[in-house]
Chains A and B, each alone.
Chain A
């Protein structure tokens, strides 16, 4: 908690110094002359952006709301693709938006009252994109996590192939044994996978999230058949489809370049997955192998934090110490429920066991939720 205060106060300090970008390394650039610092005056009826042309690279918009309504500010690329946004700018307040803009044509928009298309303006960005002042530690973080994703997706593919083969061969026992193993690799990188919104429900959708007109497919469909009727004789096409979808997501995940901020948010999202889906036993309602997923989410979260670690050690050493302690605490709490190479079933845990796990996840998720701000500084 002390760490939070520290971080947040630092942020306020940065905001108070108008015209100076908060992240380091840009001080050597002339301010408005470079065109990378933009002032935006927003009222209830006006959205005055002080430039209409910018050099490619990172731009910092300082949005001041002098109206009476809560405002928002957006930078849109063609088709209203959001390049960056800052929300909930209360009357009288200034907020900053830092966004990386390659050459192209964009639109700016203020949304007084936070509704509608907003008050639009044109923005032209030209030149070659100057790379953002490189922070070696953060650059290495993304590269390091990329390697993790590559290794996990490779294993995901292999294990899914084995699982699919077992399902198609009608080998129920083998398919049951492989199911939680294949899912481990999925769960470790779940936020990356979930960022592909169309594929995630096909692969990992639970029965209740399937909308009308959509077929219930993927891991959980086969899970249901394996553990309820034990009849997988008709699951061949579903298994084939699963493999196709997993291959597609593996290709896409490896092509995706994650930002440090996405890493930080992913680490938190994985713990949210544990808190909302695994502790409750909702995720694996037929197989009850939720603790496999729990462990995989935890490992994935730890991997993302580990990738950011060198950067965090520079920026928030207290936070790193707290994270280490709380990760160890969750691992110890979870470790009590090991069963051979795997994990006890969710149904074998008492309410007190689950409460202990829930407490430890909450204790960890609080410091993890501070990582993004530390990275963004």
Chain B
């Protein structure tokens, strides 16, 4: 506190900058045993290797982009950009610069080669600094390309890539009940930042947005917490804001055969540049929290089709027991109601179509009417939305008993290219290169 009062007499402009520096220093000094202040030391790649578990680093390079089958981290910052330049070279240069920054940041380093401190005093730092002293926190950065990057709303081939738009990147249809807000839907590019520390995720998006100034403009973004899906068998199934376990029947990293069949785009799918990539559908689904909370436990369980406690399908004992959709109760009615969520969404009811869900809870404060502005930021990766998300959602939108408590307010569809192979490779090379 003395730091702040000692600067209080200074001019307003100065104060804010000073305070930021001072607080950053204090934060770092708080990490006992770590030599204070030196960002270049604490956000260091060599040191990053020393962190493991939730604080560790996820490899950035590989056949597939990280952040898809990576065990779902705890926090999300998702952003969709509009590309505002007409210059293909500038776009490509930015993607290359983004890739370099992403490789650095996921390794626990500053966004730029100089870093947040230690550069010229007269120059703005090439990293914004709020992640100084924080470990990599399993940060992953995953990029995707929206349909409007290939052809804009007027049908123009913006960057000479219209012919490379994959068939699987077909616009999603209107689903019954959609209340989509265009200003928080779509986008030419997206970046998904997931980390176990929200500050690390926000830092990554902020620095990418800054690098992109003049080339891209943030269209919308979403913060999320409390992963609502497990993408690995090692992870316990988490709960969504309805209080139910979510993602029990998710595609998981260990299902190698299923991943090939259901998650990764294959050479025979028609768009070579997407081989090893995946298609991401995002849906911001507002939950009518207050009315849900007033519904009885029995109604809630009927709607979901699972018990609230263990997550077991109704009529079964354990979470991972297969639901018995044929079972009937004493009243002759199906134990798992015909309009229950689990029945409508289950692979066995959708010709085996599955998704790798990676959603997060969100709370955007309250809505001015005393209600939480909250829900699920649904994200699902898949090989072909036309065979997976679209038919599943079509059934859900028509019949799901849960719809009474849901409103889809934002939608996005992105083609996420294959992984960045090595330091010479870059996001989008297979598309633009």
Binding site for B on A (CB under 8 A): 1-2, 4-5, 7-9, 11-12, 68-70, 86-88, 90-93, 95, 113-116, 197, 261, 264, 326, 355, 358-359, 362-366, 369-370, 372-373, 375-377
Known: A1-B211, A114-B21, A115-B2. A370 touches B123 (CB 8 A): yes
Residue B30 interfacial (CB < 8 Å): no
CB pair A5 B112 closer than 8 Å: yes
Q: Give the complex CA separation of A72 and B359 in angstroms.
A: 45
Residue of B36, B84, B117, B123 near A373 (CB, 8 A) is B123
Known: A11-B123, A12-B119. A114 touches B36 (CB 8 A): no
| Known pairs A88-B117, A90-B37, A197-B11 / 14 extra A-B pairs, C-beta < 8 Å | A2-B93, A11-B123, A12-B119, A69-B29, A70-B28, A70-B29, A87-B121, A90-B118, A91-B35, A115-B3, A362-B214, A363-B215, A366-B214, A372-B123
Chain B CB count within 10 A is highest, among A4, A68, A90, A91, for A90
Question: Which of B38-46, B162-170, B250-258, B306-314 lies on the face that meets chain A?
Answer: B38-46
What is the total number of residues of chain B having a CB less than 8 Å from a CB of chain A?
39
Closest-CB distance, B37 to chain A (whole angstroms) = 4
Residue B217 interfacial (CB < 8 Å): yes
Q: Which residue of A lies closest to B97 (CB)?
A: A1
CB pair B37 A370 closer than 8 Å: no
Q: Which residue of B lies closest to A264 (CB)?
A: B122
Closest-CB distance, A102 to chain B (whole angstroms) = 22
CB pair B38 A12 closer than 8 Å: no
6 pairs across A/B with beta carbons < 8 Å?
A8-B123, A90-B38, A90-B40, A92-B38, A115-B3, A376-B121
Chain A CB count within 10 A is highest, among B122, B124, B215, for B122
Residues of A within 8 A of B39 (CB): 90
B169-216 residues with Cβ-Cβ distance < 8 A to A are: 210-211, 213-215
Residues of A within 8 A of B25 (CB): 70, 88, 113-114
Residues of A within 8 A of B217 (CB): 355, 358-359, 362
Q: Give the complex CA separation of A80 and B431 in angstroms.
A: 60
Residues of B within 8 A of A358 (CB): 217
Known: A12-B114, A91-B35. A362 touches B213 (CB 8 A): yes
Residue of A5, A115, A373, A375 near B113 (CB, 8 A) is A5
Residue B120 interfacial (CB < 8 Å): yes
Interface of A: prevailing SS = helix
Q: Give the complex CA separation of A238 and B111 in angstroms.
A: 51
Closest-CB distance, B25 to chain A (whole angstroms) = 5
Query: What 10 A-B pairs have minimum CB-CB distances, sorted nearest first?
Result: A363-B214, A373-B123, A11-B120, A70-B37, A376-B122, A90-B38, A90-B37, A359-B217, A372-B122, A373-B122
Q: Give the complex CA separation of A12 and B215 in angstroms.
A: 28
Q: Which residue of A lies closest to B18 (CB)?
A: A87
Residues of A within 8 A of B120 (CB): 7-8, 11, 373, 376-377
B191-250 residues with Cβ-Cβ distance < 8 A to A are: 210-211, 213-215, 217
Q: Which residue of A lies closest to B211 (CB)?
A: A1
Chain A CB count within 10 A is highest, among B21, B28, B84, B121, for B121
For B85-99 the 0/1 string (1 means CB < 8 A from A) is 000000001100100
Residue B126 interfacial (CB < 8 Å): yes
Closest-CB distance, B180 to chain A (whole angstroms) = 17
Q: Give the complex CA separation of A237 and B277 in angstroms.
A: 71
Chain B CB count within 10 A is highest, among A1, A2, A69, A365, for A1
CB pair A91 B21 closer than 8 Å: no
Binding site for A on B (CB under 8 A): 2-3, 6, 11, 18, 21-22, 25, 28-29, 35-41, 84, 93-94, 97, 112-114, 117-124, 126, 210-211, 213-215, 217
Q: Give the complex CA separation of A93 and B36 in angstroms.
A: 12
Q: Which residue of A lies closest to B28 (CB)?
A: A70
Residues of A within 8 A of B38 (CB): 90-93
Q: Give the complex CA separation of A96 and B122 in angstroms.
A: 11
Q: Give the complex CA separation of A90 and B121 in angstroms.
A: 13
Residue of B2, B97, B118, B214 near A326 (CB, 8 A) is B214
CB pair A70 B119 closer than 8 Å: no
CB pair B21 A8 closer than 8 Å: no
CB pair A8 B114 closer than 8 Å: yes
Q: Give the complex CA separation of A87 and B217 in angstroms.
A: 32
Residue of A86, A91, A363, A372 near B36 (CB, 8 A) is A91
Closest-CB distance, B181 to chain A (whole angstroms) = 13
Q: Which residue of A lies closest to B85 (CB)?
A: A363
Closest-CB distance, A88 to chain B (whole angstroms) = 5
Residues of B within 8 A of A88 (CB): 21, 25, 37, 117
Residues of A within 8 A of B211 (CB): 1
Q: Which residue of A lies closest to B35 (CB)?
A: A91
Closest-CB distance, A325 to chain B (whole angstroms) = 9
CB pair A68 B123 closer than 8 Å: no
Residues of B within 8 A of A362 (CB): 213-214, 217
Residues of B within 8 A of A113 (CB): 25
Q: Give the complex CA separation of A41 and B119 in angstroms.
A: 20
Residues of A within 8 A of B37 (CB): 69-70, 88, 90-91
CB pair B36 A366 closer than 8 Å: no
Residues of B within 8 A of A68 (CB): 35-36
Q: Give the complex CA separation of A141 and B37 in angstroms.
A: 37
Residues of A within 8 A of B2 (CB): 115-116
Residues of A within 8 A of B121 (CB): 86-87, 95, 376
Residues of B within 8 A of A95 (CB): 121
Q: Give the complex CA separation of A358 and B214 in angstroms.
A: 10
Q: Give the complex CA separation of A12 and B37 in angstroms.
A: 19
CB pair B214 A370 closer than 8 Å: no
Q: Which residue of B lies closest to A351 (CB)?
A: B183
Q: Which residue of B lies closest to A1 (CB)?
A: B97
Q: Give the complex CA separation of A86 and B94 in angstroms.
A: 33
Q: Give the complex CA separation of A68 and B29 in angstroms.
A: 9
Closest-CB distance, A63 to chain B (whole angstroms) = 11
Residues of B within 8 A of A377 (CB): 120
Residues of B within 8 A of A9 (CB): 113-114
Known: A69-B37, A93-B38. A114 touches B123 (CB 8 A): no
Closest-CB distance, A156 to chain B (whole angstroms) = 23
Residue of B29, B84, B126, B214 near A4 (CB, 8 A) is B126
Residues of B within 8 A of A5 (CB): 112-114, 126
Known: A87-B121, A116-B6, A197-B11. A8 touches B84 (CB 8 A): no
Known: A114-B21, A362-B214. A70 touches B36 (CB 8 A): yes
Residues of B within 8 A of A365 (CB): 213
CB pair B41 A359 closer than 8 Å: no
Residues of A within 8 A of B40 (CB): 90, 93
Closest-CB distance, A23 to chain B (whole angstroms) = 12
Residue of B36, B93, B122, B124 near A69 (CB, 8 A) is B36
Closest-CB distance, B129 to chain A (whole angstroms) = 10
Q: Which residue of B lies closest to A44 (CB)?
A: B36
